[in-house]
A and B are shown apart, each in its own frame.
Chain A
Amino acid sequence: MPITSDRVEIERKPKLGGGGPGKIPHRRGFGGGDDGDHGGPEDFRSRRQRMRRYRLVMGLCLFSVTVVFVVLTFLYVLRLGTGRYDEDTRRQIQDWIPLKLPYLQLWTNSLVLLLSSFTLELARRSLARKEEFADMGIVPPRMKRDLPWLVTTVALGFLFLAGQVLVWQNLQHQGVFQATNPSRNYFYLLTGTHAVHLAGGLLALLYAAGGRLLALRFESQKIAVEVTGWYWHYLAFLWFCIFALVHFAKG
């Protein structure tokens, strides 16, 4: 049995504090220190709590994604800088053949992605407006006229991916007459990794857009859109970073 005798009180102030008795107990209802959940299952399920949890997860994911892209960028720059060892001259030579980037296609894709970011934000706002009415189970008539922004975003996402495939094909044709070129490998690696991440976001958006079919609760739909929104905007930002990298650090 746990006890709370007076003896606990002696020497309550440790020099290095922590692990010891700690601070004054918090009032019930205000979580542990910063963000502890409020204990009860009702609180756990509460909309705000769920949103905060998923946001944290998205933050963690973005953290992880950032590390991966930072490492890939590091590799790109490293490879660009060092070249390879050449047998004939017995020294490092620069074998990096700059790509002729299809700028028109790339800018089109960028525009599509930017637009999709924009429509996703509109979708989020539209959902936010509906939120207070959702609990009542009605949708005000003026909001029924909201354009299907979510579906538009998904379509634009697919368009971007299709555009990327075209870019890769274009580069494939470009390389017929040359040996494997590191610059193309790294271009594929960077854009491919980005595309895979974007496809993941697209799946999440499809899940949210198909909310009605999947009998998704409004609240879950909103969380999905909100959290995927962060991811989507971040990927758009990453895309421009990659674009800048392959444009400026061309070799």
Chain B
Amino acid sequence: MAIALRIALVLITLGCVFLFVSHPLWFPAGVSAQARPLDHDFYVAFWVLGALFIAGQLVLVWVLAKRSTNQRSTRNWYGNGRLEIGWTVIIATIFLWFHLSGGQLWSRMMSPVKEAGQLHIEVTGAQFQWYFRYPGPDGVFGRTEPVKFAKPEEGNPLGIDPADPAGRDDIVSTTMVLPVGRLVQLHLRAQDVVHSLFIPAMRFKQDTVPGMEIHSHLMPTQVGTFEIACAELCGLGHYRMRALVRVVSEAEFEKWLNAQISAPGQP
């Protein structure tokens, strides 16, 4: 039994290592400015914790193998203060370093950035659909009042106030179209319940909370089409609350924007 248990633990450790080394699934390729530092942080964490995992399991195997003899010293029978303090300090140091190194990335990710020519997009989650609103040529979002004006069948799902001149040129799309290499300021809102905008390829996730407008930013670095999923349980259609991000060149983006202004509603 003793040997079987040790073999089992070794097998499990090897199995887990194999699983992560062969990794049938892994991160999608990172296509935003924060993907690279985040992936780097993840790999640091992955190697440190992976090493601790292997060490932990193997130490467990080792102590199970350690047989006692009759004339054992009983010095550490009830414990050992020095050892106790030693490993507490060591593990606290590792975790402290780990925490501080991770904290830097967090503060960089969350501190607001501004840039000339940045793009503003308002993201609204509604049950099982994402809407992306661009302010149009005037650069100002129109006033919304979903309870009064929202009529998805008439092309006004967000309830933009028809009386507000700033809202007349707003573009509402169900696809998020972004110019590559330009900073995007996101204004995240929700119409009914809590949703969460999750773009795995851009390593981006932020809840959208009704009654709040949350600000965040994003910088796409690669042209292509990527998927958006909802990451906060929002009801029956949570699993199919999907949208696309289309990252295009600057010229193509301008073309798309102009087409939208003349013929709204075409993605």
Chain A residues packing against B (C-beta within 8 Å): 10-11, 14-17, 19-20, 84-85, 87-88, 90
**B78 & A16 in contact (Cβ 8 Å cutoff):** yes
User: B87 near A: Cβ within 8 Å?
Assistant: no
**B84 & A16 in contact (Cβ 8 Å cutoff):** yes
Chain A proximity of B141: nearest CB distance (Å): 8
**B77 & A14 in contact (Cβ 8 Å cutoff):** yes
**B74 & A20 in contact (Cβ 8 Å cutoff):** no
B78 closest partner in A (C-beta): A14
**A85 & B211 in contact (Cβ 8 Å cutoff):** yes
Report the interface size class on chain B.
10 to 19
User: B80 near A: Cβ within 8 Å?
Assistant: yes
- A84 CA to B81 CA in the complex, in Å? 54
**A15 & B78 in contact (Cβ 8 Å cutoff):** yes
- A122 CA to B213 CA in the complex, in Å? 57
Complex contacts, B79 vs chain A, CB 8 Å:
14-16, 19
What number of residue pairs across chains A and B have CB atoms under 8 A from each other? Answer: 32
A14 closest partner in B (C-beta): B78
Contact with A along B200-217 (1 / 0, CB 8 A): 000000000001110000
Complex contacts, B212 vs chain A, CB 8 Å:
85
B212 closest partner in A (C-beta): A85
A88 closest partner in B (C-beta): B143
Could you jot down 13 A-B contacts, CB within 8 Å? Answer: A11-B78, A14-B78, A15-B78, A15-B80, A15-B82, A16-B81, A19-B79, A85-B211, A85-B213, A87-B143, A87-B144, A87-B145, A88-B143
Complex contacts, A87 vs chain B, CB 8 Å:
143-145
**A11 & B145 in contact (Cβ 8 Å cutoff):** no
Interface residues of B in 128-182 (CB under 8 A from A): 141, 143-145
Chain B proximity of A247: nearest CB distance (Å): 28
Interface centre among A20, A87, A88 (most CB of B within 10 A): A87
**B144 & A11 in contact (Cβ 8 Å cutoff):** no
- A224 CA to B213 CA in the complex, in Å? 53
- A20 CA to B79 CA in the complex, in Å? 9
**B77 & A11 in contact (Cβ 8 Å cutoff):** yes
Chain B proximity of A51: nearest CB distance (Å): 38
Complex contacts, A17 vs chain B, CB 8 Å:
78
Complex contacts, B211 vs chain A, CB 8 Å:
84-85
Contact with A along B51-83 (1 / 0, CB 8 A): 000000000000000000000001101111110
12 further A-B pairs in the complex, CB-CB below 8 A; given A11-B78, A87-B145: A10-B74, A11-B74, A15-B79, A15-B81, A15-B82, A16-B78, A16-B80, A16-B84, A20-B78, A85-B212, A85-B213, A90-B213
